[in-house]
């Protein structure tokens, strides 16, 4: 009788980087160059003992050398797309549609619970918050729920005022649609 695969011991499937522990690095094999020359092959070694199981070796890590700074500055090729029109000599500003002063910047509504934050006449101090939290903790569950719902009502009214939403028209439109719907 042959034992099942669970009882057979270690898995016979090749170990990949996804199947190993968090500190197991196998790589994809793309960096390995055949041959035993300088800076070829795997960029490191697996270590049995120690915390990090894969150590990079400095003499095996590939180094890419590019042209010097003078060559890069004197070339006509630029690595990035220009954000201004080079053909117009008077156009010197960069085009950024998301700049704070840009008229093309999308104006998104604030979905914050504090619709339009108006600064209070007297700034609230730490004592005010402590006093409120003590009073709030002494409330019953129903009273706490009332405080929360009252704040939500105030927030909704501020949102309606801010976006000129007419709740009466909406409820009338909803009632009209409900009357049209077949029962």
pLDDT, tens digit, 9 for 90 and up, residues 43-93: 788 888 877 788 888 887 777 778 888 887 888 776 666 666 667 777 666
pLDDT at 100 over 80: no
Of 137 and 167, more confident: 137
167 lies in which domain range?
126-178
Q: Do residues 62 and 43 lie in contact, with contact meaning Cβ atoms separated by under 8 Å?
A: yes
Looking at the domain assignment, is residue 69 inside a domain?
no
Looking at the domain assignment, is residue 2 inside a domain?
no
Of 98 and 129, more confident: 129
Residue 122's contacts (CB-CB under 8 Å, 6 or more residues apart) are none
Confidence band, pLDDT 50/70/90 cuts, at residue 32: low
Residue 181's contacts (CB-CB under 8 Å, 6 or more residues apart) are none
pTM: 0.24
CA dihedral 163, 166, 172, 173 (to 10 degrees): -20
Q: Model confidence over 113-157: pLDDT tens digits? A: 665 655 556 777 888 878 878 888 888 888 888 888 888 888 888
CA dihedral 111, 114, 115, 120 (to 10 degrees): -160
Tally of domains within the chain:
1
> Does residue 58 sit in helix, strand or coil?
coil
Confidence band, pLDDT 50/70/90 cuts, at residue 181: low
Looking at the domain assignment, is residue 48 inside a domain?
no
Looking at the domain assignment, is residue 31 inside a domain?
no
Looking at the domain assignment, is residue 134 inside a domain?
yes
Looking at the domain assignment, is residue 106 inside a domain?
no
Looking at the domain assignment, is residue 84 inside a domain?
no
Looking at the domain assignment, is residue 87 inside a domain?
no
The enclosing H or E element of 44 equals: strand 44-46
Of 144 and 100, more confident: 144
Cα separations in angstroms, 137 against 113, 116, 133:
22, 27, 6
Distance CA 13, CA 175 (A): 64
């Amino acid at each position: 009788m042959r034992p099942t695969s669970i009882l057979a011991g270690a898995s016979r499937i090749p170990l990949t980087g996804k199947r190993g522990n968090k500190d197991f690095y196998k790589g994809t094999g793309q960096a390995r160059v055949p041959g035993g020359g300088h800076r070829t092959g795997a960029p490191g070694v697996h270590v049995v003992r120690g915390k990090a199981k894969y150590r990079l070796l400095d003499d095996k890590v590939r180094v890419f050398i590019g042209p010097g700074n003078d060559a890069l500055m004197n070339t006509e090729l630029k690595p990035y797309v220009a954000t201004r029109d080079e053909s117009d000599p008077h156009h010197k500003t960069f085009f950024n549609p998301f700049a704070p002063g840009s008229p093309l910047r999308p104006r998104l509504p604030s979905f914050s619970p504090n619709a339009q934050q108006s600064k209070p006449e007297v700034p609230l101090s730490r004592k005010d918050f402590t006093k409120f939290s003590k009073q709030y903790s002494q409330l019953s569950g129903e009273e706490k729920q009332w405080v929360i719902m009252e704040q939500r009502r105030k927030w909704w009214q501020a949102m309606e005022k801010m976006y000129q939403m007419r709740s009466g028209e909406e409820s009338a439109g909803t009632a009209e649609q409900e009357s049209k719907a077949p029962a």
